[in-house]
């Protein structure tokens, strides 16, 4: 099927024909062709598709886990280095002493 399409495309380029070029540039769906195979081959095809789906799930889990650990690890190391390199204020405490308040000040706090 693909060989016929390539031959038609080659013929259209040599003879300057638009009809064959249009035929050759149409997409050929291999999945639809393989779904119409006789039973022993269709069983192999469905088994292969199930295996490839399982393999894709396992590989995506592994790859995403590695990318996540590397990405978050690098981000954590950089954040820690920035925090260590940042100069600290010379404060003994962060407590701010409160001002004495009256009962009227506590009535409407906001």
For 6, the token pair is: 């390539």
What pTM does this model have?
0.39
> Quick one: pLDDT at residue 59?
93
Whole-angstrom distance, CA of residue 45 vs CA of residue 51 = 10
CB atoms near residue 8 (< 10 Å): 19
Distance of CA 26 to the CA centre of its chain: 29
- Mean of the per-residue pLDDT values of the chain: 76
Residue 85 has pLDDT above 90, yes or no: no
Q: How many CA atoms lie within 13 A of 29 on its CB side?
A: 4
Confidence of residue 26 (pLDDT cuts 50, 70, 90): low
In the chain, what are the domain boundaries? 1-36, 38-86
> When comparing pLDDT for 58 and 28, which is higher?
58
> Quick one: pLDDT at residue 60?
94
């Amino acid at each position: 099927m693909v060989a016929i399409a390539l031959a038609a495309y080659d013929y259209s380029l040599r003879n300057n024909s638009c009809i064959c070029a249009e035929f050759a540039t149409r997409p050929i769906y291999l999945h639809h062709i393989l779904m119409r195979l006789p039973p022993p081959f269709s069983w192999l095809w469905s088994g292969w598709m199930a295996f490839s789906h399982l393999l894709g799930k396992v590989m995506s889990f592994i790859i995403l886990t590695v990318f996540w650990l590397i990405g978050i690890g690098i981000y954590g190391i950089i954040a820690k280095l920035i925090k260590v390199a940042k100069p600290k204020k010379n404060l003994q405490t962060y407590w701010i002493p409160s001002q004495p308040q009256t009962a009227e000040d506590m009535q409407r706090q906001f």
